[in-house]
Amino acid sequence: MDLGSYSHKRPLSYFIKRGLWALFQLPFIGGTPKQLSFLRVGLLRLFGARIASGCLICGGVRVWEPWNLEMGVRSVFGTGAEIYNLAKITIGSNAVISQGAYLCSASHDYTDRSFPLFSKPISIGDGAWVASKAFIGPGVSIGEGTVIGACSVVTKDMPAWMVCAGNPCRPLKPRLMQNKSSNARNI
């Protein structure tokens, strides 16, 4: 590798926008109550995120580029989720990104001597659940209703309505839904 030739060229306007976004991070600090979600949602929208109604964004969530984020109705980012969205990340309606999950839309081309950065969009389907500390890599699509198990490493698309887990993540079994709401805990 020749890191001396590495270049991450961006226009000055990009760095100004990122700098302004950094100034508004206080409500995102870990340990802030989930009741401040409305403020986090408002700030993300102010910086260009397209967030539908009823979304919950817990404390400690880190969003790199709000203008590259889209969230459907009633979606959730759990405490400490990291959204490294140098490319667009789309979260469907009623989807949950649990605590400590990492959605990573960018990486480096390790086959190129100058180690350039590249980015590819990520899509999480309606009703999907990305469990705690799972990693979702650049260019991945998670199907509608899919469950990604805790600590899974997802580098390829996962099909709809499947329970998937592992490193590397792979489909394990169909996700079958039952109506057990009478036993559900009200959170």
Q: Which amino acid is at 168?
A: P
Active site residue 108: yes
Q: Are 99 and 132 in contact (CB under 8 A)?
A: yes
Residues forming beta bridges with residue 169, ordered by sequence position: 166
Q: Which amino acid is at 59?
A: G
Burial of 58 (C-beta count, 10 Å sphere; 0-12/13-18/19+): buried
Euclidean distance between CA atoms 155 and 84, whole angstroms: 15
Which one is catalytic: 34, 108, 113, 170?
108
Closest CA to 131 of 88, 182, 78: 78
Q: Which amino acid is at 106?
A: A
Closest CA to 58 of 36, 83, 86: 36
Catalytic annotation, residues = 108
